[in-house]
Amino acid sequence: MQQVADLVGDSLGLSAKAAATEARMIVFAGVHFMAESAKILSPGKKVVMPRADAGCPLADTITVEKLRALQAEHPGAPTVCYINTTAAIKAEVDICCTSANMQQVVESLLDKKVLFVPDGNMGRYLQTKLPDRELILWKGVCPTHHRLRAEHVLEQRACTRRRSSWRTRSAVSRCWSSRTRCARTTGFLRYAKESDATEFIVGTETGIIPRLEAENPAKRFYRARGDGLPNMKMTNLEDVLAVLEKEDNEILVPDEIRVRAVRSLERMLKSREGLAAKFHRG
């Protein structure tokens, strides 16, 4: 799939690339929230998915009703959501974040208490970076990343002379060395290129490894665990051909939701400018 794709990247990066193209239709070979993000940023383009049933277990852990209940328990506290969420959730929060800018986003808020959804593992890691903030975490997890444990990394580490990075549960995060990096997709790619190491342990979605190998042919990459994200691997070439022929499985985001979701994404981008903000839902 990566070899035939016109564009490859992480969820936010692909959505931005899709918005920048002049194509009338975007075939998003990923999971549902990714295609929704592309539609949010490209309302005038037709966005279709080769596999309409490719969802995200992490995104599915939280609903609008559950989020509103959590917000009601902590009135006045702003809500930050990881981009791995549905359009409906993005429309309910104050600001979005990625795994790369989550600390920057939370630091841009004037509030000391912040709701962080839906990735509890990511939130616990973020709390170690921001001890002066009170993060109220949702108990959602990515099942695949959550299964990665410290012993898996240590076992692989014992088999290699050098090692690199992973992004997962806090127990694994504590296995760091000075040559370890916790990053998003683009961070993994950049670090692998810039590092003088020749062997790396990768503890995230295994679909990134072919790209790492292609961009770094002289280096070797090992999976911390053998499994990857199953829904990310549902799409095959036959599915892409079928959706190109039929133009079905269209992703639609109602304008009322899309406009509010765009606002949370735009606030995230403004946080890069160091603009402190205080939000009041109403």
Q: Which CATH number fits the domain that encloses residue 15?
A: 3.40.50.10800
Cα 49 → chain centroid: 18
* Chain segment 73-110, per-residue pLDDT in tens: 999 999 999 999 999 999 999 999 988 889 999 999 98
Are residues 121 and 156 both part of a single domain?
no
Are residues 70 and 47 both part of a single domain?
no
What's the predicted TM-score (pTM) here? 0.72
Count the alpha carbons within 13 Å of 64 in the hemisphere toward its beta carbon: 9
Taking residues 147-176, report their average pLDDT.
Answer: 51
Supply the range of the domain harboring residue 220.
144-228
Are residues 27 and 39 both part of a single domain?
yes
Q: How many domains does the chain have?
A: 3
Are residues 265 and 222 both part of a single domain?
no
65 occurs within a structural domain:
yes
Q: C-alpha distances in angstroms, 18 versus 28, 35, 36, 75, 155?
A: 9, 10, 12, 37, 40
Assigned token pair, 9: 């990247």
279 occurs within a structural domain:
no
162 occurs within a structural domain:
yes
Count the alpha carbons within 13 Å of 131 in the hemisphere toward its beta carbon: 1
Are residues 249 and 198 both part of a single domain?
no
Please give the pLDDT value at position 158. Answer: 63
